[in-house]
Amino acid sequence: MAVTETSTVATLVTDHEGEILPEWLALQKKAGALESGRIRDAELTAQCRKFLHFLCDGLEAGVIDSAHTSFAPLREFLGDISRSRAVQGFSPSETATFVFSLKQPLFDTMNRDKGISPTQLAETTWTITRLLDQLGLYTFEAYQKGREEVIARQQREIAELSTPVVKLWDGILALPIIGTLDSERTQIVMENLLQTIVDQGSEIAIIDITGVPTVDTLTAQHLLKTVAAARLMGADCIISGIRPQIAQTIVHLGVELNVVSKATLADAFAVALRRTGRTVTKVRPAATGGPVEPGE
């Protein structure tokens, strides 16, 4: 049963491409596809032609299910179109219209074809409707997916930008963390930190949590994981910026912060310098010929 319907549609499309294509194009242009020059006539025509070609290929398997492997090339093609339409500034509905607007020309062509019986007409109409609906929805989904990928990528970029790893001195890094530290962010922090330790050969990493609003058990665990990971790479950590309330919370939670902690980043830096065998000395001003005051 299915084979006759799909082969009817396939024959219809192949035989009457000359009528279907211009009608389909006309409908899309009427809906505003070419406005503001976001897509050129030639490009649109080529896409329509390709769609019809893939559609016929898919119909050959005789399965009226757009998820079937026979329609894989068509789906891939629609996926590409969705992505490029999104970039060209089409809305998801406008993108799906690419598929839906094909219904009318197909129905019109079928009606004009005197060789089809009324029952065949009804069944084939239903077949086309089902298939094109599925494909139209697929286009819509593909568009959404493209958008979601962009958002996910941007989120990741924001996460990376908001946890910079800063070199304070040779072998000493600082990680100022702003905002909450959830498990996803911890992953990014760990990856950045460890890679920087490798790239710069750092021995000490100062994790500053001044900008972390609250520390609960999970956050504390994330911090400890980060410290443990850095240790495995041969780098020691110092945690700085622990506010009094946070210190109390940590104690009340019973979390054991088995890592050196300092109140401020400055204190931590001083410790780090000492540990790496350095001191900070005041520079004597160059002799200008005048007397040098005692105790200067």
The footprint of another protein (CB under 8 A) covers 145, 149, 152-153, 156, 187, 190-191, 194-195, 197-198, 201, 203, 225, 228-235
CB of 222 to another protein, least distance (A): 10
Residue carrying structure tokens 């105790």: 295
- Antiparallel, parallel or unpaired: β 236-240 and 172-178: unpaired
Identify which of 148, 54, 31, 37 has the alpha carbon closest to the alpha carbon of residue 100. Answer: 31
Distance (Å, rounded) from C-alpha 202 to C-alpha 238?
13
CB of 27 to another protein, least distance (A): 30
CB of 148 to another protein, least distance (A): 8
CB of 153 to another protein, least distance (A): 7
Token pair of 87, please?
Answer: 């970039």
| Whether the Cβ atoms of residue 37 and residue 46 lie closer than 8 Å to each other | no
Query: In this complex, which beta carbon is closest to another protein, that of residue 58 or of residue 146?
Result: 146
Query: In this complex, which beta carbon is closest to another protein, that of residue 201 or of residue 211?
Result: 201
CB of 193 to another protein, least distance (A): 9
Q: Which long-range contacts (CB under 8 A, 24 or more apart) does 51-59 make?
A: 51/77, 51/78, 51/98, 51/99, 51/102, 52/13, 52/17, 52/20, 52/21, 55/13, 56/10, 56/13, 56/14, 59/6, 59/7, 59/9, 59/10, 59/13
| Whether the Cβ atoms of residue 81 and residue 48 lie closer than 8 Å to each other | no
The interaxial angle of helices 2-15 and 41-59, nearest 10 deg, is: 150
Token pair of 215, please?
Answer: 């520390």
Query: In this complex, which beta carbon is closest to another protein, that of residue 53 or of residue 278?
Result: 278
Query: In this complex, which beta carbon is closest to another protein, that of residue 230 or of residue 265?
Result: 230
Query: In this complex, which beta carbon is closest to another protein, that of residue 190 or of residue 268?
Result: 190
CB of 291 to another protein, least distance (A): 44
Distance (Å, rounded) from C-alpha 186 to C-alpha 221?
10
Residue carrying structure tokens 């399965």: 63
Query: In this complex, which beta carbon is closest to another protein, that of residue 16 or of residue 222?
Result: 222
CB of 262 to another protein, least distance (A): 23
Distance (Å, rounded) from C-alpha 50 to C-alpha 247?
65
Query: In this complex, which beta carbon is closest to another protein, that of residue 42 or of residue 161?
Result: 161
